[in-house]
Amino acid sequence: MSLPSFDVFYLRRSLLGWYAQNGRNLPWRDSADPYQIWISEIMLQQTQVKTVIPYYQRWLETFPTVTDLAQADLQTVLKVWQGLGYYARARNLHACAQQIVEQYNGVFPNQLEAVLSLPGIGRTTAGGILSAAYNLPISILDGNVKRVLARLIALSVPPKKALKSLWEWSDTVLDPDHPREFNQAIMDLGAMVCTPKAPNCSECPWQLYCQAYLSNLQSQIPMGETAAPLPHKIIGVAVIWNEQKQILIDKRPAKGLLGGLWEFPGGKVERGETLEECIKREIQEELAIEIEVQEHLITIDHAYTHFKVTLNVYHCRYLSGEPQPLECDEIRWVTLDEIEQFPFPKANEKIITALKNNS
C-alpha cells in the first residue's frame, strides 16, 4: 500500500499542527546539544519516559559532557545507570563516548554512516539523534511509530513481518522541512493518542485517513505474534559471611547480560538437586571454597525480556579455601555498609534491602 502525495502533505501539516498544541514538554527537547539528545535516546530504548527523566537528570549532573563520560570509570557509569536495566546500553554509552572523543574530537558526528558505526546505535536511534540535534531529514521507527503507521495503513501482518515497508512509509511521511518536530510529533502521537490499548481516535489529527479507524480495526491493529512462554530458571543464591562480618560478592564478566555488574554468587538448580546442594556446588565451582548453607533470607521473582528467574537467597558461612574468580572477573569481601558503592542488578538490590532490614 502506498500513500498518495496529497495525503502526505495533509498528514504532515495536520500532525505538526497537533504537535504545536499538544506536544510533550520533555527536558531533552529544550536542548540542541547532541550529547544530551543522544543520552536521552539511549535511555528511552525499551524504557518509559517517566522512568527515564530522573535518571537523565542525574546522569547529566554526573557526566555533563561526552568527555566527562569518556573519562569516567565503567563502574561509576554502571552505578549511575543502576535500576534502568538493559545494562549493555550503559556499557555502549561509555564505549561510544570514548570513540567520539578519540575519533571526532568530542563532537557527536552528523553523518548517518558515522553514527551507525558507533556502539549501541541502530537506525531508529540514529534518526532520532540526527533529526533532533541537527534537524536532518532522517526517519525513525520506534514502537510508537510502528503502531501509528500500522493503523494508518491497516497493516495486515505483525509489524515485525513488514519492517521494510514500515521504513519506507516512515521515510515517505517524514516532513523534510521540519524533521525535528515531525519525528517528535509522531512519537508523541503514539504515546499520547494512538496508544496500544483504547486509542483516543477522536483526538487524532490523522483520523480522516486512518484505515484502521475507518474499518473499525484499531483495537486489532497492530497484529501481535504468538509468544512462546518464557523459560523459568530456579536459582540458588549465597550471601556468604566470613568471621569479620564481610560478605563475598563477585563481578560478572564484562560481556553478556548484566555484564560488569556485581552480584551475590550462585546458579541454576539442576534436576534432582535441593537448593542447599545447588548453592554448595555452585560456590565450589565458581569460587573454589567450602561453605555452610544456613537460614533462608528471601525469595525474589524477577522477569527479564527472554526469561524469568526465581532467586532463592540463603545466608551462608564461609568455611575454607581461598576464593578464586573462576567464572567471574573479580571477587571482593565487603561490609554491608560498603556494598552501596557497587552497581548491582535490580533483583540483587532487593537482597541488599533484606540484609539491611535484618541487620
The residues that are catalytic are 41
**What's the CA gap between 142 and 156, in Å, rounded?**
19
Is 28:49 a contact under the CB 8 Å cutoff? Answer: no
Under a CB-based contact definition with an 8 Å cutoff, are residues 331 and 287 in contact?
yes
Is-contact 282 327, C-beta < 8 A? no
Q: What is the C-alpha to C-alpha distance for residues 87 and 104, in angstroms, rounded to an integer?
A: 25
Smallest Cα–Cα separation from 95: which of 121, 128, 130? 121
Cell reading at 259: 555484564
- The residue type at 166: L
- Chain position carrying cell 512462546: 228
* Residues sharing a CB contact under 8 Å with residue 54, sequence separation 6 or more, in sequence order: none
Range 72-81, long-range pairs (CB < 8 A, 24+ positions): 74/260, 75/260, 75/342, 75/343, 78/260, 78/261, 78/343, 79/341, 79/342, 79/343, 80/55, 81/55, 81/343
Helix (H) or strand (E) holding 298: strand 290-303
Q: Which amino acid is at 191?
A: A
**Distance, CA of 150 to CA of 28 (rounded, Å):** 27
